[in-house]
């Protein structure tokens, strides 16, 4: 969404700079932006952590991680330039004196800049620390300039609607809404942004983009990995809160939104909120009809034996946490009346694959033989990852003497166009530096998204699923998820 324009001198203050996200995503993103000449002319990264590390030790640690996680190669020249902008800064999250020291440090940078620089606070830290940090920032006036200071908050943003509302109110005591960047890294992915370009940059599909022409929409985000080392975190979360409430609903918004009048961030975010508001709420007694949960047992993933969820580290032997969720949503608006939107996500699935399928309606009457009707076609597939392409599947004549149909594909391959695709975090961090909120979630978006899943969440948290584990690692999830779509004569693609 950003344009190539220089931004104001900026200090980036990373809380949790020694953590996993910082090493795998944030520093590589800043490094790549630096190489591309997209960082502000004057910038400093203040890396905050509890340990008494020296600058040299911390920079070596960052360099080692860049070797593993940076998109672009590390050269000694680029690294020498980049590392000069990093300062390790010891701080204790809950001690006011740490924030006073931080204040002094920021003023030192301002003297070097010759102006009051922008301040970008990145909370790369567990959600339980957000209120402590936000309160200290407020009490020590670290973010006193609403035009220049911004805060980035990682997911999860709350754990239900009520907690999200409380967090929004808390942040509102220190920051204006325009200063708050709630990140959902799915929205920074090239292929997800491309949905807007594809829908609103072409005249071919938009007239077909409604209930008169589309039979169903499917969104799948399948992961091959399990919970890895994050068992304790995942036990408190599950697939509905970890994936559907944020990533899948955000993708659904991109597919279903009305054309925005402009690319202005408020306009696009308004259209997305409209979609979330129009999603029909599932009543408590209908949860089992519209939603399916699953938990993986042992199985084979990619030819290798895999443990069941309950055998992973940090997981209770009788865990009730879902590692798979599928939901059928309806949107009550003119465009999408009666079109089912099926969304599903799971861990330890057969393969890693995120994609959207738009299934167009069959012709009311087919000229061709009945057998041709069963062939898969009239379908648009938008692959998000690891494939990054758009495929239009349609019917064509099978070469030969008889007039027989077969499904064929036209493919637009993002990789072929641009091999060196920026990572989602690069896009999002650049937007935050430039003050572009389009790809970040507004308070009402987050609250509406929690509202959409509220009854499902309540039902799943208060009732135990005695069928768990109910799908094998390395499969496509529980059989009930197949039944969810088959009831209406559909199939997961």
Ligand X SMILES: NC(=O)c1ccc[n+]([C@@H]2O[C@H](COP(=O)([O-])OP(=O)(O)OC[C@H]3O[C@@H](n4cnc5c(N)ncnc54)[C@H](OP(=O)(O)O)[C@@H]3O)[C@@H](O)[C@H]2O)c1
Q: Tell me the closest approach of the beta carbon of residue 89 to ligand X, in angstroms.
A: 11
Q: Does 231 bind ligand X (CB under 6 A)?
A: no
Q: Which residue's beta carbon is nearest to the bound ligand X? A: 19
Q: What are the respective helix, strand and coil percentages of the chain, to the nearest 5?
A: 40, 20, 40
Q: Would the annotation count 67 as a binding residue?
A: no
Closer by beta carbon to ligand X, 18 or else 194? 18
Q: Tell me the closest approach of the beta carbon of residue 188 to ligand X, in angstroms.
A: 12
Q: Tell me the closest approach of the beta carbon of residue 168 to ligand X, in angstroms.
A: 16
Q: Tell me the closest approach of the beta carbon of residue 372 to ligand X, in angstroms.
A: 45
Q: Tell me the closest approach of the beta carbon of residue 487 to ligand X, in angstroms.
A: 34
Q: Does 21 bind ligand X (CB under 6 A)?
A: yes
Burial class (CB in 10 A: 0-12, 13-18, 19+), 393: buried
Q: Would the annotation count 185 as a binding residue?
A: yes
Q: Does 163 bind ligand X (CB under 6 A)?
A: no
Tokens of 325: 């969720």
User: Helix crossing, 161-172 with 130-139: angle to 10°?
Assistant: 10
Q: Does 50 bind ligand X (CB under 6 A)?
A: yes
Cβ atoms of 323 and 472 within 8 Å: the answer is no
Cβ atoms of 382 and 356 within 8 Å: the answer is yes
Q: Does 51 bind ligand X (CB under 6 A)?
A: yes
Shortest CA distance to 248 belongs to which of 176, 324, 338, 307? 324
Burial class (CB in 10 A: 0-12, 13-18, 19+), 52: exposed
Q: Tell me the closest approach of the beta carbon of residue 338 to ligand X, in angstroms.
A: 35
Distance CA 91, CA 99 (A): 8
The interface region with ligand X, picked from 118-126, 385-393, 398-406, 458-466 by CB under 6 A, is: 118-126
Among 126, 259, 314, 386, binds ligand X (CB under 6 A): 126
Among 74, 93, 404, 493, binds ligand X (CB under 6 A): 93
Distance CA 138, CA 243 (A): 31
Q: Tell me the closest approach of the beta carbon of residue 29 to ligand X, in angstroms.
A: 12
Closer by beta carbon to ligand X, 20 or else 145? 20
Q: Does 385 bind ligand X (CB under 6 A)?
A: no
Q: Does 135 bind ligand X (CB under 6 A)?
A: no
Residues 6+ apart with CB under 8 A from 134: 151, 170, 171, 173, 174, 175
Q: Which residues share a beta bridge with 472?
A: 297
The interface region with ligand X, picked from 14-22, 294-302, 304-312, 342-350 by CB under 6 A, is: 14-22
Cβ atoms of 247 and 254 within 8 Å: the answer is no
Residues 6+ apart with CB under 8 A from 471: 294, 295, 296, 297, 324, 346, 477, 478, 479
Catalytic residue list contains 247: yes
User: Helix crossing, 190-200 with 424-434: angle to 10°?
Assistant: 70
Cβ atoms of 345 and 248 within 8 Å: the answer is yes
Residues 6+ apart with CB under 8 A from 336: 210, 211, 256, 278, 330
Q: Would the annotation count 347 as a binding residue?
A: yes
Among 16, 42, 346, 422, binds ligand X (CB under 6 A): 16
Closer by beta carbon to ligand X, 3 or else 52? 52
User: What is each CA distance from 392 to 137, 172, 319, 413, in whole angstroms?
Assistant: 50, 45, 41, 12
- Which H or E run includes 384? strand 379-385
Among 2, 7, 11, 18, binds ligand X (CB under 6 A): 18
Distance CA 377, CA 366 (A): 13
Q: Does 42 bind ligand X (CB under 6 A)?
A: no
Among 9, 28, 40, 49, binds ligand X (CB under 6 A): 49
Q: Does 352 bind ligand X (CB under 6 A)?
A: no
Catalytic residue among 247, 289, 374, 490: 247
Closer by beta carbon to ligand X, 51 or else 304? 51
User: Helix crossing, 443-462 with 161-172: angle to 10°?
Assistant: 150
Cβ atoms of 40 and 6 within 8 Å: the answer is yes
Q: Does 395 bind ligand X (CB under 6 A)?
A: no
- Which H or E run includes 172? helix 161-172
Closer by beta carbon to ligand X, 229 or else 366? 229
Q: Which residues share a beta bridge with 408?
A: 394
Distance CA 355, CA 191 (A): 10
The interface region with ligand X, picked from 125-133, 405-413, 471-479, 485-493 by CB under 6 A, is: 125-133
Q: Tell me the closest approach of the beta carbon of residue 35 to ligand X, in angstroms.
A: 22
Q: Would the annotation count 325 as a binding residue?
A: no
Among 33, 125, 222, 256, binds ligand X (CB under 6 A): 125
Q: Does 54 bind ligand X (CB under 6 A)?
A: no
Q: Does 81 bind ligand X (CB under 6 A)?
A: no
Closer by beta carbon to ligand X, 21 or else 375? 21
Q: Does 407 bind ligand X (CB under 6 A)?
A: no
Among 19, 231, 299, 407, binds ligand X (CB under 6 A): 19
Annotated binding site for NADP(+): 16-23, 50, 155
Residues forming the active site: 247
- Interacting residues toward ligand X by CB under 6 A: 16, 18-22, 49-51, 93, 124-127, 154-155
Annotated binding site: 16-23, 50, 155, 185, 189, 223, 242, 347, 352
């Amino acid at each position: 969404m950003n344009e190539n324009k220089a931004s104001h001198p900026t200090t980036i203050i990373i809380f949790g700079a020694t953590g996993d996200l910082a090493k795998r995503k944030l520093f590589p993103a800043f490094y790549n932006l630096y190489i591309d000449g997209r960082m502000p002319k004057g910038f400093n990264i203040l890396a905050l952590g509890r340990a008494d590390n020296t600058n040299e030790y911390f920079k070596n640690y960052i360099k080692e991680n860049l070797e593993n996680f940076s998109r672009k190669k590390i050269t000694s020249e680029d690294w020498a330039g980049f590392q000069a902008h990093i300062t390790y800064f010891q701080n204790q999250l809950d001690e006011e004196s740490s924030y006073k020291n931080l204040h002094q440090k920021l003023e030192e940078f301002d003297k070097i800049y010759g102006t009051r620089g922008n301040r970008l606070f990145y909370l790369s830290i567990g959600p339980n620390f957000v209120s402590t940090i936000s309160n200290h920032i407020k009490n020590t006036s670290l973010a006193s300039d609403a035009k220049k200071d911004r805060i980035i908050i990682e997911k999860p943003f709350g754990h239900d609607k009520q907690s999200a509302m409380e967090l929004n109110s808390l942040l509102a005591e220190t920051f204006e809404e325009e200063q708050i960047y709630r990140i959902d890294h799915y929205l920074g992915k090239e292929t997800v942004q491309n949905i807007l370009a594809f829908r609103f940059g072409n005249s071919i599909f938009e007239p077909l983009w409604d209930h008169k022409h589309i039979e169903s929409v499917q969104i799948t985000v399948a992961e091959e990995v399990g919970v890895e080392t994050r068992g304790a975190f995942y036990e408190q979360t599950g697939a509905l809160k970890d994936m559907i409430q944020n990533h899948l609903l955000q993708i659904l918004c991109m597919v279903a939104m009305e054309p925005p009048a402009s690319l202005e961030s408020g306009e696009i975010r308004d259209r997305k909120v409209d979609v979330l508001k129009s999603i029909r709420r599932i009543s408590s007694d209908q949860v089992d009809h519209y939603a399916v949960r699953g938990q993986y047992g042992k199985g084979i993933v990619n030819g290798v034996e895999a443990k069941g969820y309950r055998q992973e580290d940090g997981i209770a032997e009788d865990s009730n946490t879902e590692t798979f969720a599928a939901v059928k949503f309806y949107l009550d608006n003119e465009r999408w009346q009666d079109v089912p939107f099926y969304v599903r996500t799971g861990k330890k699935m057969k393969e890693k694959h995120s994609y959207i399928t738009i299934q167009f309606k069959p012709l009311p009457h087919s000229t061709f033989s009945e057998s041709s009707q069963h062939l898969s076609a009239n379908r648009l597939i938008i692959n998000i990852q690891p494939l990054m392409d758009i495929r239009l599947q349609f019917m064509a004549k099978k070469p030969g003497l008889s007039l027989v149909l077969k499904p064929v594909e036209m493919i637009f391959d993002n990789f072929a166009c641009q091999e060196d695709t920026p990572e989602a975090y690069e896009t999002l961090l650049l937007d935050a530096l430039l003050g572009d909120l389009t790809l970040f979630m507004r308070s009402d978006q987050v609250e509406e998204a929690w509202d959409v899943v509220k009854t499902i969440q309540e039902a799943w948290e208060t009732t135990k699923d005695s069928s768990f584990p109910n799908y094998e690692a390395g499969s496509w999830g529980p059989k009930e998820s197949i039944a969810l779509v088959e009831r209406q004569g559909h199939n997961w693609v």
